[in-house]
Amino acid sequence: MVVLDFIINEIFGQGAIFIALIAMIGLLLQKKSASEVIRGTCMTAVGFFILSTGTGLITGNSIDGIATAFNTMMPQAIPSTTVDIGAQFGTEIGIVMVVAFAINLLVARFTKWKSVFLTGHMLYWFPFVFIAAGVDAGLTGGKLIALATVFTAVYMIVSPNLMRPFVKQVTGDDSFTIGHPTTCLSVMSGLIGKVIGNKNKSTEDLKIPQSFGFLREIAITGSFAIAITYLVMYFILLGNGYDPAVVWGYSEASTGVFTYIFTHAIYFGVGITIMLQGVRMLIAEIVPAFKGIADKFVPDAIPALDVPVIFPYAPNALIIGFLVAMVTSTITILLTAGMFPTVIIPLISTCFFEIGCAAIVGNATGGVRGAIVGAALSGVVMVLLVGFGAYFFNNTIQQWMLVYGGQDFSLWGIIEGFIAGLIA
């Protein structure tokens, strides 16, 4: 148990350590010098932390106020959560993580499914979701662990391989794929783009007048978009009888709405800039280092990485997808009010990360039209998945799903919960 606890918490549970360890093993297998091994290992960890810092600025210092406004206007119904999955089933989650990852390696070694799931925190969150769905359905003991292990392993194998051809269309090469819960939305967006779009009319080729040339900088474009979103939310709050100074708390800091919106908008630009720099560093280190593992143990394998690694390839599509999904998800929430056993608010994080990726994939297969339509439909599907998912998570992690669901977590969790109900 001590060894298992160390592996779970100190390796799998720490994204930077896990990914740096993978890089170190790969470099050692390539017989690199001690200097190259140390450099590659440390720079991989540095790149990961830079990426995480940028992501944290976006979610914690920029778009958090948008979520706060929606939470205020549409109070969440408090689900009857009775089980703390992370605390009460930590050992089961750890066993599922380790066994599922081992299965992923074996399948990559002996079959044509050649991706290895390396998104550290997702190695924890998928077992977390699958354990929760099983517990909610009434499973315990060996059946619970077995079913969650099967679903985790199947997801780690199938999802990155479904994403692989779409990632190749986005990046132009086949050196990595995506291991992240965006898959169902991104694949849907990619297929729609193929049918209705024109990939030769890319979001990245949008003609911008010379006088607005500064908008070619994603940090500036993103900051402007977030500022406009906050401004709209400001007037919506006022129109619904809420005081933005109280909702957003800027009065406590002795500042006004201009300062609040300006700082949150600029933090988005800062976060995007830092995140993309971290992505470049991480890709530059982990892809060549992973080749050592692939050559030695898993021939022709490629790493399945976190979703931000695809953002630099179509940053305009990322911003377009985020904004479109915000609009369509809000409309869907209003139209479906009362249909589900929970109150849903726009999932800001899902709109940016998962649907942002879906827009990038839609752009790769169908250009501007593919990005917009793919993001619009993803915003609708996201809300429906969270709503129907409430029937399978209401006694465990429904509050968590109201923030982080609406994609593969919800879809695969619903499927597993249904099967767990039949078994139980």
- Choose among 157, 183, 162: nearest CA to 298: 157
Give tens-digit pLDDT for 99-113. Answer: 999 999 999 999 999
Residue-by-residue DSSP string for 30-77: TT--HHHHHHHHHHHHHHHHHHHHHHHHHHHHTTHHHHHHHHHHSPPP
Q: What are phi and psi of 302, to 5 degrees?
A: -130, 155
Model confidence band, residue 369 (pLDDT cutoffs 50, 70, 90): very high
Task: Say how many Å lie between the first and final Cα of the chain, rounded.
Answer: 28
Give, in degrees to the nearest 5, the angle at Cα 283 between 279 and 285.
120
Give tens-digit pLDDT for 9-61. Answer: 777 778 788 899 999 999 999 999 999 999 999 999 999 999 999 999 998 88
CB 269 within 8 A of CB 54: no
CB 227 within 8 A of CB 262: yes
Q: Which residue has the higher pLDDT, 59 or 228?
A: 228
Give, in degrees to the nearest 5, the angle at Cα 298 between 292 and 300.
80
Rounded Cα distance, 137 and 132, in Å: 9
Residue 77, pLDDT score: 53
**What mean pLDDT is reported for the chain?**
91
- At residue 286, does pLDDT exceed 80? yes
Q: Which two tokens stand for residue 66?
A: 């948008």
- At residue 171, does pLDDT exceed 90? yes
What's the rounded mean pLDDT across residues 297-317? 93
Q: Which residue has the higher pLDDT, 309 or 9?
A: 309
- Choose among 377, 381, 379, 384: nearest CA to 340: 384
Give tens-digit pLDDT for 310-336. Answer: 999 999 999 999 999 999 999 999 999
Residue 168, pLDDT score: 97
User: Which of 3-12, 266-275, 365-374 comes out lowest in average pLDDT?
Assistant: 3-12
Model confidence band, residue 216 (pLDDT cutoffs 50, 70, 90): confident
Model confidence band, residue 251 (pLDDT cutoffs 50, 70, 90): confident
**CA–CA distance from 32 to each of 28, 269, 320 (Å)?**
6, 38, 43
What's the rounded mean pLDDT across residues 371-397? 95
Rounded Cα distance, 369 and 201, in Å: 8
- At residue 5, does pLDDT exceed 90? no
What's the rounded mean pLDDT across residues 234-245? 93
Model confidence band, residue 368 (pLDDT cutoffs 50, 70, 90): very high
Specify the residue for token string 């996201």: 382
- At residue 211, does pLDDT exceed 80? no
- At residue 76, does pLDDT exceed 70? no
Q: Which residue has the higher pLDDT, 209 or 202?
A: 202
- At residue 338, does pLDDT exceed 90? no
